[in-house]
């Protein structure tokens, strides 16, 4: 459902009205995230059956006219299709950089019973062919089936590469992704750091506005802050303990 505010007098409380409802699916919504492009407002919705839908609206002020732009599964090629999956959770993180020169893109990871859907993949909108394509996969060969708990795309202030974080049952990892695609349209990636999890499961990750500090939280009740030094070596900067 979408809600927007109604104009009221300064002395009156803010009122909200329902603008749009997406219906027709009996599956649960696991995550929904807005993303901006230079020409429209987009919304990615991940469902418990493993299906991901991308909606688009050209006029952000008119929230009634959302259109389904794409329906996809989180696989590395557009030919492979799987039956109905069972997903416990999903994590979506849009590229926070908004520019006319960069296509709209988001990072997606799943926690499902279908290993091929789980590994985090970067999806990018191909403007020429009006379609979404997977352009990178953030997983080592032996870890591609690992269930993903959270992903986060870091803001980029002048870096020649993109920075992203991935949390699985095994670890938290930091990845660098090239900005320019190769001849096949793929973006090269490199894992630059690996951290231990929060005693089992990571619940959420968030980058600061500069994209230099990562905050993680999990089942141990702690918040951990991670940074890299001038040599690019990542380390635990601080721990915020739970209060009693």
What 3-state class would DSSP assign to 141?
helix
pLDDT value for 87:
95
pLDDT of residue 109: 96
Q: Which long-range contacts (CB under 8 A, 24 or more apart) does 175-178 make?
A: 175/138, 177/122, 177/136, 177/138
Domains and their CATH numbers in the chain? 25-240 (2.130.10.10)
Q: Cβ–Cβ contacts within 10 Å for residue 180, how many?
A: 8
User: Please, where are the H alpha helices in 87-171?
Assistant: 115-118
87-94 and 105-112: which strand pairing?
A: antiparallel
Alpha helices in the chain (DSSP H): 115-118
Q: Which residue has the tokens 């988001």?
A: 106
Q: Residue 4: what are its φ and ψ, rounded to 5°?
A: -135, 160
Beta bridge partners of 124: 105, 133
The pLDDT assigned to 219 comes to: 82
DSSP per-residue codes, 197-236: -STT-EEEEEE-TTS-EEEEEETTS-EEEEEE-TTS-EEE
Tell me the pLDDT of the chain (244 aa) as tens digits.
666 655 555 667 777 878 778 766 678 999 999 997 777 889 999 999 999 999 999 888 888 889 999 999 999 876 667 777 899 999 999 999 876 677 899 999 999 999 999 999 999 998 888 899 999 999 998 888 899 999 999 999 888 999 999 999 888 999 999 988 777 778 899 999 998 877 778 889 999 999 999 999 988 888 989 998 888 889 989 999 887 6
Name the token pair of 180.
Answer: 């320019």
pLDDT of residue 8: 55
Q: Which two tokens stand for residue 147?
A: 């269930």
Spell 213-232 as b/e; 16+ CB within 10 A means b: bbbbbbebeebbebebeeee
- 């603008």: which residue's tokens? 19
């Amino acid at each position: 459902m979408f809600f927007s505010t109604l104009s009221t007098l300064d002395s009156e409380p803010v009122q909200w009205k329902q603008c749009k409802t997406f219906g027709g699916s009996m599956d649960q919504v696991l995550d929904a995230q807005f993303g901006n492009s230079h020409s429209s407002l987009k919304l990615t919705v991940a469902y418990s059956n493993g299906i991901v839908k991308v909606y688009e609206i050209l006029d952000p002020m008119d929230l009634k006219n959302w259109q389904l732009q794409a329906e996809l599964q989180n696989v590395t090629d557009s030919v492979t299709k799987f039956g109905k999956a069972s997903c416990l959770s999903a994590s979506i993180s849009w590229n926070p950089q908004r520019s006319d020169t960069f296509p709209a893109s988001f990072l997606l990871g799943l926690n499902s019973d279908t290993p091929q859907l789980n590994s985090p993949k970067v999806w990018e909108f191909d403007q020429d062919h009006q379609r979404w394509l997977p352009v990178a996969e953030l997983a080592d060969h032996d870890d591609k089936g690992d269930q993903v708990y959270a992903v986060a795309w870091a803001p980029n202030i002048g870096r020649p590469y993109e920075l992203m974080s991935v949390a699985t049952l095994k670890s938290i990892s930091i990845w660098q992704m090239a900005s320019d695609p190769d001849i096949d349209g793929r973006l090269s990636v490199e894992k630059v750091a690996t951290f231990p999890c929060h005693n089992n499961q990571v619940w959420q990750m968030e980058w600061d506005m500069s994209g230099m500090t990562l905050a993680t939280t999990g089942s141990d009740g702690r918040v951990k802050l991670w940074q890299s030094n001038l040599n690019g070596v990542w380390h635990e900067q601080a721990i915020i303990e739970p209060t009693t």
